[in-house]
């Protein structure tokens, strides 16, 4: 048994549910103890691919950073959201933007808006 193998199912053939379940599994693994940085990098890459596949199937764009216009955000558990473009971290004065990002994330994870 090795835990260093990341499953390589073809993204195109996966349903939204499968994509989301694998994405959630990887998020859990990254939060937990990872044996090596190499493994973490592989997981992060797979997580990014799963996310872009889910994102490409959903008709929603992430909100843009008001500092640099970048549309990519990251967040560690319990920390502030951070712009992947310029590193700006969002605080209480950015509450509207934070809500928009949360809405975007939730929509992608849900596989689209609920029968809007």
Our finding on whether 111 is near Zn ion (CB under 5 A) is: no
Tell which one of 4, 21, 86, 91 touches Zn ion (CB under 5 A): 86
Collect all residues with Cβ–Cβ distance below 8 Å to 29 and sequence separation of at least 6.
43
Q: Which of 25, 71, 75, 85 touches Zn ion by CB under 5 A?
A: 85
Written as six digits, the tokens of 18 are 């499968």
Provide the minimum distance between the beta carbon of 76 and Zn ion in the complex, in angstroms, as a whole number: 17
Beta strand 81-83 pairing with 73-75? antiparallel
71: Cβ–Cβ under 8 A, 6 or more apart, which residues?
61, 62, 63, 64, 65
Which of 56, 38, 47 minimizes the C-alpha distance to 20?
Answer: 47
Nearer to Zn ion, 65 or 101 (CB): 65
- Told to check if 95 binds Zn ion by CB under 5 A, we report no
Q: Quick one: which of 43, 50, 54, 65 contacts Zn ion (CB under 5 A)?
A: 65
Report, in Å, the least distance between residue 97 CB and Zn ion: 11
Contact residues for Zn ion (CB under 5 A)?
A: 65, 67-68, 70, 83, 85-86, 88
């Amino acid at each position: 048994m090795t835990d260093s193998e990341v499953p390589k199912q073809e993204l195109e053939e996966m349903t939204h549910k499968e994509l989301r379940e694998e994405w959630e599994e990887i998020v859990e693994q990254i939060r937990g103890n990872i044996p090596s940085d190499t493994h973490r990098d592989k997981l992060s890459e797979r997580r990014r691919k799963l996310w872009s596949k889910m994102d490409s199937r959903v008709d929603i764009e992430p909100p843009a950073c008001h500092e640099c216009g970048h549309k990519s955000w990251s967040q560690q558990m319990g920390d502030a959201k951070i712009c992947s473009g310029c590193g700006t971290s969002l605080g209480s004065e950015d509450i509207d933007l934070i809500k928009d990002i949360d809405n975007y994330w939730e929509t992608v994870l849900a596989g689209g808006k609920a029968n809007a």
